[in-house]
A and B are shown apart, each in its own frame.
Chain A
Amino acid sequence: MKTYWRSIEELANPKELRRDEVREEAKQKSMLMRGDTALNAASRRDFLKTFGFGIAAASIVASCKRPVDKAIPYLVKPDEINPGTANYYASSYFEGNEYGSIIVKVRDGRPIKIEGNELSSISQGGTSARMQASVLNLYDDARFKGPLKNGQEITWEKADEEIVAQLAALNSQGGKVVLLSSTVISPSTKEIIQKFAEKQTNTEWIQYDPVSASGILEANRMSFGTAFIPDYRFKQAKVVVSFGADFLGSWLSTVEYTKGYTAARQLQDGRKEMLRHYQFESGLTLSGSNADVRFPIKPSEEGAIVLALYNAIATAKSGQLLSGAPSSVDVSDLANDLLENEKQSIVISGSNDVNIQLLVNGINQLLGNYGQTIGLENSLMTKQGIDGDTDRLLSDLKAGNVKALLVWNANPVYDHPKGKEFAEAIKKTGLSISLSERPDETTALCQYVLPESNLLESWNDLEPKAGIYSLSQPVIAPIFNSRQAQATLLKWTGADVNYRDYIKNFWKETQFPKQKNTTDFRHFWNTALQNGVFETAQESKLTYSSDGISQAASQIKGAVSGIEVALYESVAIGNGKYANNPWLQELPDPVAKISWDNFAAIPVAYATENGLKNEDVISINGIELPVFVQPGQAKDTISVALGYGREIAGKVGDQTGTNLYPYIGIENGTRQYFLTSAKVEKVAGKVFELAISQTHYSMEGRPIVRETTLDNYIKNPVSGNELKAEHESKSVTLYEAPVYNGHHWGMAIDLNSCTGCGNCAVACQAENNIQVIGKEQVRNRRIMHWIRIDRYYSENPENPKVSFQPVMCQHCGNAPCENVCPVAATPHSEEGLNQMAYNRCVGTKYCINNCPYRVRRFNWFQYVKNDKFDFASNSDLGRMVLNPDVTVRSRGVVEKCSMCVQRIQEKKQLAKLEGRPIAEGEIKTACSQSCPGNAIVFGDLENPESRISKLFKDQRNYHLLEELHTLPSVGYLTKVRNTKA
């Protein structure tokens, strides 16, 4: 059998690692028992405190009067709101260049959970971890509480008055005003900006993205005449080749791509074909770890390889060959595979180099992919920033040409390579205004801060893809004294209209005529608002021209020697906008499994040669970074995540990790997200502790990931899963088989569809009030996530095969945890759930020790209302996000996945009230509902017609540790790799 390992240490010596782990665990526990003796030894003073407290507590209990609770009814009850019943509103998420159509769950006036909107053709009901976590941003104490002028509070009226006067003065002198924003995809906002520019005659609007798609935009301008990002349809592709584009983790529209990608790879219901995925990359990204064939390369090698691929395909198509630098990788097999799948392939590159993107366009054109797998009609709008514009702005600012700067939703001081120069320039600008929701490095330098509302408090209309529109609606009144940026701009143009009416009117004029379903605008508007999306058919008249491609090829430089550093956006933190979100900070990186920091991922061979190990510190061009030995990291490369090292973000994000934005290079006018010829040195004697959770919860080398290849699967569907039959044939038990009368809830997880993105972990956290415990406690292996995504490596450590496996409570029929609980706090329910009664639990932790799946979590501390855990749940505002349907656990109790029993109960209730059986797919757990890969299916195993019953009969289905005869209610479908035989 294949050997699976989770870290280099485990590969080298699994037994020793396990021994070390046990030792470490024991040490942690004993430390907790002992306390730090020097600091915590009980003194006389402590004794008096305890004694005094005891007396006081006793006397309070003696005179025990219940606290009087008030029940305050509505004055006028809104029809749709019933206390205790959730309402759902369609809205849209667009932040940090990521778009998703969402459904917001509102309980008693508080938005508490975000789900995907199934009506959207883009996100298709899926979300990303960041979308899930965004609800917490609403309840962030760090947000601005009201408008400020030079740090002092000011009223909106006063601020408006002063700014309008200054703008008017500038207008009469012809002074230049610049609006610097992140990409705006709202058609009505664009119109408002245009109106503002009409009034303020000398206005320039610059869109700026910290991690830009400038290369693609510019390349398409040359190839098609317009700057746009095409519509990649992974669902229709048979072969995907990605050059450094982490399209499952961070590149452009990840949820949409994951939906399409997993749909093209799933093998349920007798499907026998799947997409093949080639990935060229330096660090091991989420996409790379899902790829069937992965080539670890240096960033500087990429251009030559793309060129070689172009030439290989051009040769076959007898097209014109281009000359340029030679490739280091033989791409003939790849070219053949692509040629066999003409019009059914996608070639993409994450590079920001226009030349590479031009060649990629050329390849896609040769393969006939345009109009097939790569659409030109519904171009993606989420990244519009052109790198050259901000450089021009900077020189204008420095020269004093810009008299007033409006910064909206952009933070160039932090995330522009020349952030420091921006900072100096902004300080000198006559009028600087920030329209930011929360403090950041840029707002700190602006004279006026006019805080905008959170996206859940705002109206908006969006056009994420050409012709595909969606609406945002507020689901809560602004918590603080904030105002939408659009409303602010409207006010300054002198228009006396609120933004909602403005959008409504705008839609009446622009979108309403585009449809023929209804002639009543009110009906159209209400439908669009309720659905959240409005999609129209588009046509494209763009034609490809090979202009500039030969010049591009000639400009491709060959590989450079020396160590290269690849900079990437991490799956959780992204570009750093959400750095103050504790859920995201604690979400382990999908591949490295590190939370709370960025780090330098170095190749295994390099580590051995230089005597480096995890948590050592190296300096890269003078930047000190902790080391993490990453299997699969390309030779002579180091990967470091962007988005960390914020200085002004809030209590969680400040000084977490290191900021790498200042080291981004600029080449041919576009920012290049890698450094060449980096000087790397070991910082002797320095250790930086990382919250690495990759080796937590070991399963002791037992075969829990099962996989096969597509060829073998077609020959024999049981391939890779032969053990199941063996285990079943040997199964003997003393226990009676559990009997289920009505329901038996279960879950099936298709390992072929799970990309490991981490959305489920955050979705579960939001649904089930799972607490953030901070870096130190994560290090102490106490992470509370009810669903963890195990990541296993196999084969060659220089370029391993990766498997992801989400593991949560398996709800065993013969649960080992149940019969060791001395207080019956975790019995089995008639519906197959392994229940957890928190108020019965006395914290013996026997169940944790007896659970072979390591899915039970213990509350070592009080994580709520505790200054030592100053994250989301330490303030009244932060606790607003708690789900009132789930108990907030206190110190000393065990918790674990409940299969979202509150959702099961809610839907059962509804079905009973309506006197009908529960419909298939009606109950969804938090993890399954928004999974962008549709990897998790929840349902009733007692219903033979249900989807889950069918999946349990699939020949790929197996259970974890079947040999223990625990009879789990969770099944896994084997992973199938589409490697060429």
Chain B
Amino acid sequence: MRKSYLLRHFFLRLKAFIFLLLLSLLIFNTIPLSASSVEDETDEFTEDHSHGDIQRGERFFKGLLPTDRKFESCVSCHILTHSDTLNWNPSAMDIAQKFKGKDFAEFQSAVMQPNGKKMEASHKDFKIEEEDLKKVKLYLDDLAVTGPPSTGPTINQIVIFLLLGLLMTFALLDLIFFHKIKYRFVTVLILIVALVVQVKMVADAAINLGRSQNYAPDQPIKFSHKVHAGDNQIDCKYCHHTAEFGKSAGIPAMELCMNCHVLVREGANSGKFEIAKVIDANETKKPVEWVRLHNLPDHVFFSHAQHVGVGKVDCKQCHGAVEEMDIMKQTSDLSMGWCINCHRDTKVNFKDNAYYDNYMKLHDELKGGGIDTIRAVNIGANDCMRCHY
């Protein structure tokens, strides 16, 4: 009797152990995956100057050299990593890319002879030895190839999940062997709460799988919708001009940017650096590769024309207060439930569009007073065939 009891609990322990083992395996597998490096490509840049030079440049850039300069270090403005909040100054990576393959003189003149209000304010009377600046350039060239330092994966969720698992294991062990905690219901409570939290975490993760609400990636240009749509009151459809009649709202062609930026060459926030990218793109004939924000799954066929052109839905309703966003983000979760709820509520402009003349029965009911409004759902907006084919 006693023996089988022990055996059973040994198996329970074993299960918990395997569970933990698997979870830790998960984490260890994750880390090397995200930390990819491109070391092999750096060789060509380190031919005629030592690794030490680059390091010195890096130290200078990061303000690590003991100097009595009264200036801020480069990195304090030109950050190395991607950030969640908009930093208007060009990042180190941006600068590195821009001056990659260009000669030192050009770099020097850009740094030492500030051009434009914004840059003048920060680079004014900037002093640096030419040798040091050369090393900074070397460092930046190197950076252009190696890419920004990688940030580790955010494992908070997994850590919490694991800790909860540990907690449960201890609770279980206490419940069976140690009996350190006097009241049994406390251990049971811990077990249950931890389990519920864990299930909730898994469920949330599963629901959000493939969804990306609040997704706000860094874009190749620090383009601010706030500046354009908010401060300068440019109509959405000026740039996204196919929204009313096309499936896609359209990303403006580079030439369209030039309609204004042929004159507007310096911005209040970012100075000349960001706008120069647009001008460069036009000159080098290489369009800017924006990071796509709103990604619907491939089996969803959404049409802007239907919503903006026919339904007269305000852009804000789905895209949020774009005019207040410096960094564009995905406001809605773009889930099917979200679509369907809106279709249930939205009233259709039934009388003024001759297309709906076909819907005679509904017109009769409207006249007869049987119904007072036609909502999108009443004319089949929630049929599968509307979006999936």
Contacts and interface: CB of A to CB of B under 8 A. Distances in A.
**Chains A and B belong together in one complex:** yes
Interface of A: 55-56, 58-66, 68-77, 82-85, 739, 741-743, 827, 829-831, 833, 835-840, 885-888, 898, 901-902, 904-905, 908-909, 911-918, 940, 942-943
B250 A76 contact: no
Given A829-B385, A887-B299, A71 B251 contact: yes
Given A62-B158, A84-B247, A917-B358, A75 B380 contact: no
Most chain B Cβ neighbours within 10 Å, of A55, A62, A82, A914 = A62
A72 B244 CA distance: 20
B55 interface: no
Interface in B229-265: 242, 244-248, 250-256
A833 B215 CA distance: 36
A739 to B, nearest CB: 8
Contacts of A898: 385, 389
Most chain B Cβ neighbours within 10 Å, of A56, A742, A743 = A742
A916 B362 CA distance: 17
A902 B301 contact: yes
Contacts of A887: 298-299, 388-389
A71 B289 CA distance: 6
Nearest to B374: A741
List 10 A-B pairs, minimum CB-CB distance, nearest first.
A830-B380, A59-B29, A84-B247, A77-B253, A69-B292, A829-B383, A74-B253, A71-B292, A835-B384, A73-B251
Nearest to A70: B289
Contacts of A917: 354-355, 357-358
A83 B356 CA distance: 28
Interface stretch (B140-148, B166-174, B279-287): B279-287
Given A73-B250, A835-B384, 5 more contacts: A73-B253, A75-B287, A742-B380, A829-B385, A831-B380
In this complex, the interface size class of chain B, counting residues with CB under 8 Å from chain A, is 35 or more
B355 A912 contact: yes
B246 A833 contact: no
Interface in B358-379: 358-359, 361-362, 378-379
Contacts of A837: 384, 388
Nearest to B285: A75
A831 B26 contact: no
B353 interface: yes
Nearest to B295: A69
Interface stretch (B177-185, B303-311, B337-345): B303-311
B242 A83 contact: yes
B358 A59 contact: no
A839 B305 contact: no
B385 A82 contact: no
B34 interface: yes
Given A59-B29, A73-B288, A84-B246, A831 B354 contact: no
7 contacts: A62-B26, A72-B287, A75-B282, A84-B242, A742-B379, A829-B383, A887-B298
Contacts of B331: none
A918 B286 CA distance: 42
Interface in B24-51: 25-27, 29-30, 33-34
Given A72-B287, A75-B282, A835 B385 contact: yes
Given A76-B255, A829-B385, A82 B250 contact: yes
Given A76-B254, A741-B379, A837-B384, A886 B242 contact: no
A562 to B, nearest CB: 57
A53 to B, nearest CB: 12
B25 to A, nearest CB: 7
Contacts of A830: 379-380, 383
Contacts, number: 182
B287 A909 contact: no
Contacts of B297: 839
A85 B295 contact: no
A84 B250 CA distance: 9
B30 A62 contact: yes
Contact of A838 (B245, B247, B353, B388): B388
B198 interface: no
B356 A742 contact: yes
A77 B301 CA distance: 23
Contact of A66 (B295, B385, B388): B295
Nearest to A65: B34
A55 B248 contact: no
Interface string B122-150: 00000000000000000000000000000
Contacts of A60: 33
Nearest to B382: A830
B292 A905 contact: no
A291 B370 CA distance: 57
B386 interface: yes
B6 to A, nearest CB: 31
A743 B383 CA distance: 13
A908 B301 CA distance: 14
Contact of A827 (B215, B310, B384): B384
Contacts of B158: 62
A918 B384 contact: no
A85 B246 contact: yes
B358 A64 contact: no
Contacts of A72: 287-290
B217 interface: yes
A85 B242 CA distance: 10
Given A73-B254, A84-B247, A831 B388 contact: no
A64 B291 CA distance: 18
Contacts of A840: 384
B209 interface: yes
A905 B383 CA distance: 12
A459 B41 CA distance: 46
Contacts of B244: 913
B50 to A, nearest CB: 35
A245 B213 CA distance: 65
Interface string B305-321: 11001100000000000
Most chain A Cβ neighbours within 10 Å, of B27, B33, B383 = B383
Contact of B290 (A61, A70, A911, A914): A70
Given A885-B389, A913-B245, A59 B379 contact: no
Most chain B Cβ neighbours within 10 Å, of A85, A912, A917, A942 = A912
A71 B291 contact: yes
Given A60-B33, A63-B33, A742-B380, A831 B299 contact: no
Contacts of A82: 242, 245-246, 248, 250
A83 B358 CA distance: 30
Contact of A909 (B26, B298, B306): B306
B40 to A, nearest CB: 23
A837 B282 CA distance: 43
A62 to B, nearest CB: 5
B354 A829 contact: no
Contacts of A743: 358
Contacts of B286: 75
A410 B39 CA distance: 54
A913 B309 contact: yes
Contacts of B386: 905
Nearest to B250: A83
Contacts of B388: 835, 837-839, 887
B212 interface: yes
A85 B246 CA distance: 6
Contacts of A58: 26, 29
B153 interface: yes
Contacts of B298: 887-888
A71 B210 CA distance: 18
A60 B384 CA distance: 31
A911 B353 CA distance: 9
A76 to B, nearest CB: 5
Nearest to B157: A62
Contacts of B25: 55, 59
A911 B386 CA distance: 15
A837 B386 CA distance: 11
Interface string B201-230: 000000001101001010000000000000
